[in-house]
Structure 1
Amino acid sequence: MLLEKERRDVVETCLFMQSNGLIVGTAGNVSIRVDDKIAISPSGVPYETMTAEDVVVFSMDGERVDGVLEPSSELPLHLSVYRETAAKAITHNHAPASTALGLVVDEIPPSHYYSAMLGGIIRVAPYAEFGTDELARNVTDALKGRSGALMKNHGAITIGPTVKKAAGLLPILEYVCEIHLRAMATGAPVALLSPEQMADAKAAIADYGRQPNKE
């Protein structure tokens, strides 16, 4: 089976999103790029019954390469992001906090240094109907220099060099959105980090977790 490992990884990532409460029903999608091909989750298939064979493979030109099911309706979005970024994997979800916050802001202010994990202040892509080229353009623009973004009246998206890293950013993005929503709900002014503080956080995060080599 073509891209068998990647297709299995797509299924496992969909189940990860489901088990972490990041999706509702079959909403959301996952893809992995290998050279000029992408493995992408199928449309409308329940995650708990999805198999690697259900995952479909398309070329970067949008032509079917392998698999018989219809791809996610967001195939144009995935292709656009891959063409314009260095991403090797994309995860898209409809989690509550990120979806809700995208209704009331055009970007997430720097209220938590975790935003630096996604590249800085998180943008909200303007609304466009799902599956359209307009949505693909809006989201691709919102991801410039970032590894995550919100989609107004829709959900959230993360990208990364591997599907594990892309998926790992989804709970972080949801956390940032959740705490900002809670802070806004108090009615009190929300403390924000300065550009300098955000830059320092971004630099610190780049080195976080590195351990000295053992002889």
Structure 2
Amino acid sequence: MLLEQERRDVCLTARSLASVAAPGESVTVSVRSGDLVVVTPHGVAPDQLQPADCPVMSVDDRVLEGRHDPAAETTLHLAVHRGAVEHGRDVTAVVNAFTADTVAVSAVLAELPPVHHRAAALGGAIAVTPYTTYGTGEISDQAVKALKGRDAALLANHGGVALGRDLEQALENLRLLDWLCSAYIRARQIGEPRVLSEDELARVRARDAHGWAGPDVF
């Protein structure tokens, strides 16, 4: 079986999101190994996935192996993988999911502002794409644009998408995106959130480059 370990990892990642995403096929996970991509299939609930269910594809859209068709969002995933290769980004994994908070924010805002310093880890303010039908080339193009210089994006009235150097990091980034959406929603219930500036985010990134003691000299 091609990319057996990668298929197992895709299953585990999808299952871990099953409890926080919308019912049904609301999670799509992919991981690239060279010119091959493993993606979650169409028609199988995340908590029931088995490695053999997951299609193995080439980055140019050919299905090579798998007992189910690829998920509808595979077009988006492959476009993101191709863009990462083209621009030399250290990205091999993509996760997107329809969680309540990412859908809510993506249905209202044109951009998720950084209200917490952890937003710096994703690139700062998170772009929300214009609305377009899922599983199309148009949403794929919009996602690639929104992810330029970012490790996450929101797809309008749809949910969130996150990248990583591996599946563990992509999943962590998706969970961080979901948490930032939740924090923003709660802040808006109290009042107008205070938004961190680009200078403040730059100082956070500089601080992240140091250990627990920071840049201070003893």
Q: Return the TM-score normalized by structure 1.
A: 0.92
- What number of residue pairs does the alignment pair up? 208
Aligned to 2:83: 84
Aligned mates of 2:211, 2:130 — CA distance in 1: 33
Sequence identity (%): 34
Counterpart code for 1:203? A
The equivalent of 1:15 in structure 2 is 15
Q: Deviation of residue 208 (structure 1)?
A: 5.8
Separation in structure 2 between the aligned mates of residue 192 and residue 112 of structure 1, nearest angstrom: 8
Q: Under a length normalisation based on structure 2, what TM-score does the superposition of the two structures give?
A: 0.91
Asked if 1:68 is matched to 2:61, the reply is: no
2:109 corresponds to:
105
Matches within 5 A, 1:177-196: 177-186=181-190, 188-196=191-199
Q: Deviations over 1:72-117 (max 9, x none)?
A: 1011111110111232000000111111011111111121111111
* 2:27–2:46 CA contact under 8 A, matched in 1: no
Match of residue 202 from structure 1:
205
1:48 partner SS: helix
Paired residue type of 1:88: T
1:207 Cα offset (Å): 4.2
Q: Which runs of 5+ in 2 are unaligned?
A: 214-218
Could you tell me which residue of structure 2 aligns to residue 213 of structure 1?
A: none
SS at match of 1:71: coil
Q: Deviations over 1:105-134 (max 9, x none)?
A: 111112111111111111111111011000
8 A Cα contact 1:24 1:95, kept in partner: no
Q: How does 1:105-124 map to 2 (within 5 A)?
A: 105-124=109-128
Residue 199 of structure 1 and its aligned partner are, at CA, apart by 0.8
Distance 2:176 2:22 in 1: 15
Would you say the 8 A contact 1:17–1:23 is kept in 2?
A: no
